[in-house]
Structure 1
Amino acid sequence: MKRILCILAIIATLLSSCVHTQKKELLKLIYEWQGREILFPTDVTFERIDGKAVCLDSFNCTYKVFTYVDSIGCMSCKLKLSEWNDFMSMVDSLYPNTVSYQFIFQPYKIGELQLILKREKFSAPICIDKKGKFEDLNEFPKNASFQTFLLDEKNKVLAVGNPINNVKIKELYLDVISGTSMTNKRGAIVKTKIDVEKTALYLGRFDWKEDRRGRFLIKNSGDKPLVIQDVTTSCGCTTVTYSKKPVLPGKEIDLEVVYKAEHPEHFNKTITVYCNAETSPLVLKISGDAK
């Protein structure tokens, strides 16, 4: 528990700006919520997008991911349902039958929310809290980044923060969840091994006004699913697309790289891949001559 609190303190520093007061407030928020119980209204009901009710007993897993979304701002932007689908798929692949998910929505326009849920084919159980009962009982933090919680079996808060918005929070959730995984008795994130076809790619000489594409091939050579948690680039001129689904042992994944020059130049750029491989993070490089 002390280790988790220490990590949370570091994350609070990373999430805040350089203003000392903001850091202090975030640290205070995290410590206040650690170990606190999330309270549920007595008449709460959950259902899926097809309208079928979900029995509360179905949430009896070792861990729960609980998130609350109010009606303030752009609902679609706040929900990020496609990212949540990827996250749930990843966790369920690594730790089957270990985590359940509870999404509480207090929408201003219920019809708009239902359209978004259907469009994204969102499968997790949801609760539409029209009267704000969850907020009244719990008084969630005003900062939307801290309205998501990792809970234990008794609905006690183990970690605070949205794993969709921050890779450090995601790593913390996985670290806590893996502590009881049957596949890893040491309590560490399940690791696998990878083989990379090449770590450096020369994109050649080309007209600087044209996009240049390349790809890196990564093979999961271990015996556990490979999950790419995040990919960062050294500048905005480089973008990377890839499948968010876990890569099964023996399978491969393509990272498609697109470089768009802002002016003629010789360039050397780096791409950092964070994943559950023993050699993570993986640093890839691209270079070329935009004429």
Structure 2
Amino acid sequence: MKKLLYISLLLSLLTACKENNKEKFALLVQEWQGKEIVFPQDMAFTRFVTEPVDYRIPDAEYKVLVYVDSVGCTSCKLQLPKWQELIAHVDSATNGNVPFIFVFQSKDDRELRYILKCDNFDRPVCIDRNNRFNSSNRFPQDITFQTFLLDKDNKVKVIGNPVHNLAVRDLYLKQITGMQYQEALPKTTLETDKAEYDLGTVKEGTTKKQTVTVRNTGTSVFKLKGFTTSCDCTEATCDWKELQPGESGTVTVSYEAEQPGDFYRTVEIYGNIPNNSLMMSFIGTVE
């Protein structure tokens, strides 16, 4: 019964914008819940890709495995500053007793080293050469399901990416710390003036800002939990924490144009609304 309740809760958190994939996600979550992750005995860890370090995966009641494949934008997938924030929070809550294990595929060692250096991410990282680790476990292709909270036997307790989804982050923290959820707030509804914003042409190396108006269209106060973005090049900020029924507020979204080409970025607003979040998308071209 507990397992079924967990699966139901996780699906409600992960499928806010993917209702048509619910059956697929349900099967995937059921497949991975309780599954043992196989770690090769000879895993080699480095700092900044090229500096070998003597690191062994410690025995611990819980550990977090972050696997990132080489498909798509590496920087968008990694979001290392957000991982650093989460690690600091977990370390504070557990006296550093929860190890975070990072395993990356690399299509370009120089690019990965550059990203790690820029974000000053000096934690040990394993590069999955020749796809060995992935072949042993056959991780899901969707990045949403490539991060796992494992127990002391390396069995999956929670599946989902806690830096891409704040509700999944709560599941991790609840499992790790044993803290119960705060009492659920009454649901309200939130609307933006648009679902998609065209930022037009943005010059490479510059930052384009877009002001978004959000309105509480429900009957209860909306309390902001936070934002997530699809890439580190995008940031969302605001100067308010809650909106009364009928009240509007603004969110400033900043996009830093890193490389030429068309782009598609998303920002999700989290709070006491249906599906826990509301997504906005931003498109344009970098020249």
- Which TM-score tier does this pair reach, normalised by the shorter chain? 0.5 to 0.7
Gaps of 5+ in 1: 180-186, 192-210, 212-228, 234-238, 242-255, 259-265, 275-280, 282-291
Of the two structures, which has the highest relative contact order with CA contacts closer than 8 Å and spacing of 6 or more?
2
- The 1:6–1:52 alpha-carbon spacing in structure 2 relative to 1, beyond 3 Å, is same
Give the % identical residues: 36
- 1:27 is aligned to 26
In structure 2, the residue matched to 1:51 is 51
In 2: Cα distance, 1:14 partner to 1:38 partner: 23
Give RMSD over aligned pairs.
3.4
The structure-2 alpha-carbon separation of the partners of 1:147 and 1:141, relative to structure 1 and needing over 3 Å to count, comes to same
Q: Distance in 1 between matches of 2:176 and 2:250?
A: 31
Q: 1:268 aligns with which of 229, 248, 255?
A: 248
* Equivalent in the alignment of 1:202: none
Equivalent residue number for residue 174 of structure 1? 173
Deviation at 1:97, TM superposition (A): 2.5
Task: Give the letter for the 2:144 counterpart.
Answer: S
Contact 2:55 2:124 in 1 (8 A): no
Quote the offset at 1:142 in angstroms.
Answer: 1.6
Partner residue, 1:149 = 148
Contact 1:146 1:160 in 2 (8 A): yes
Paired residue secondary structure (1:158): strand
Of 227, 236, 240, the match for 2:237: 240
Name the CA shift for 1:232/1:161 in 2 (closer, same or farther; >3 Å).
closer
Contact 1:178-1:189 at 8 Å conserved across structures = no
CA distance in 1, matches of 2:82, 2:72: 18
Aligned to 1:92: 91
TM-score, normalised with respect to structure 2 = 0.63
Residue 18 of structure 1 deviates from its aligned partner by: 2.5
Q: SS at the partner of 1:43?
A: coil
Q: Could you tell me which residue of structure 1 aligns to residue 226 of structure 2?
A: 231
Q: Which residue of 2 aligns with 1:162?
A: 161
Counterpart mapping for 1:164-203 below 5 A: 164-179=163-178, 187-188=179-180
> Residue type matched to 1:61 in 2?
A
Residue aligned with 2:19, SS: coil
Q: What corresponds to 2:119 in structure 1?
A: 120
Change (3 A) 1:105 1:3: same
Deviations 1:228-282 (A, max 9, x none): x94269xxxxx536xxxxxxxxxxxxxx459xxxxxxx963399987xxxxxx9x
Unaligned runs of 5+ in 2: 184-210, 212-223, 229-235, 252-268, 277-287
Give the superposition deviation at 1:121.
0.8
Distance (Å, rounded) in 2 between the aligned partners of 1:189 and 1:100 = 23
* Structure 1 residue runs of 4 or more that deviate by more than 6 Å after TM superposition: 270-274
Is the Cα–Cα contact under 8 Å of residues 101 and 125 in structure 1 kept in the other structure?
Answer: no
**Cα distance 1:86–1:4, how it changes in 2: closer, same or farther (>3 A)?**
farther
Aligned residues: 205
Q: CA deviation at 1:42?
A: 2.6
1:7 Cα deviation (Å)?
3.2
Which residue identity lines up with residue 231 of structure 1 in the other structure?
G
Given residue 18 of structure 1, which amino acid in structure 2 is its aligned partner? E
Q: How far off its partner does 1:48 sit?
A: 2.7
Whether the 8 Å contact between 1:61 and 1:97 is mirrored in structure 2 is: no
Structure 1 residue 171: Cα displacement = 0.4
Q: 2:154 corresponds to which letter in structure 1?
A: N
Q: Following the alignment from structure 2 to structure 1, what is the Cα–Cα distance between the partners of residues 69 and 270?
A: 33
